[in-house]
Structure 1
Amino acid sequence: GSYHCHAVNELGHGPMATIKLEVHQPPQFIGKMQQHMTKRIGDTDFSASCHAKGKPRPTVRWLKDGRDITTDANMYRISTGNNDGLSGMVTVQSSLIFQGKARPHKSQLLPSDRGVYTCLFENEVSSANA
């Protein structure tokens, strides 16, 4: 909101000063990702999802074993959407979908899929990961 200060004394009125205050909030997870999953090689249609809220809108990055996942290798698809809430708070949901042209039948899990996956939300205030 905007706050105004107007100085007044017995000699008169001074100029008015105005300050606009914005309150930001770091990303905060809504629920938790499952900590451990076991799947079989060849399983299909697997995805992992995470949700967070923050102000301003958090961006999301997916990592495997600490390295950024890109969709360039045609092994994954990343689907991300957001909903605007009250007072500028934005909820972001993201899914890492194990799907791409480089996979057998476009969606089968491979031995190379073993690893630690991290969903990282960031905004200009802070970051949160799961």
Structure 2
Amino acid sequence: MFKYSLIVGFALASISAHAQMSDRLSEHPTAKITVARKSSAEAAAIAETREMTNRLHLNEGQFLKLLPLNRTRLAGMHSIDQQYRADEPTRAAKAAELEAQFEQECSRILTPSQLSQLQQQNGQPNGAPANAGNGLG
């Protein structure tokens, strides 16, 4: 009986400490901004992946594999935009590199016809490899 009381006591203390830390973080203004940015970035990644699902007729497995890719791509684009905002040529080159990496990863998930559709919609000629010019394939 003592062990049970001890376990319950620790559990309650842990829950209380977690709740107090939660309250402290929610009162901190930068914590709110960070949470807002994360939820906004997550919403953008979900929206982008849903839009791709509609355009390319993805199945559920493809959606689940593309969602983290879209998260990474959108975060990378945000970072590139921030880091190279004063250097347009470098920003464009970095963005193109990130987009090529994204399409390379998509080629592992999408069917050939889906990949072709994606490339056409992204302004590449039909049949152009996603990694054209980098010697990887």
TM-score computed with the length of structure 2 as normaliser = 0.23
**Structure with greater contact order relative to length (CA < 8 Å, sep ≥ 6):** 1
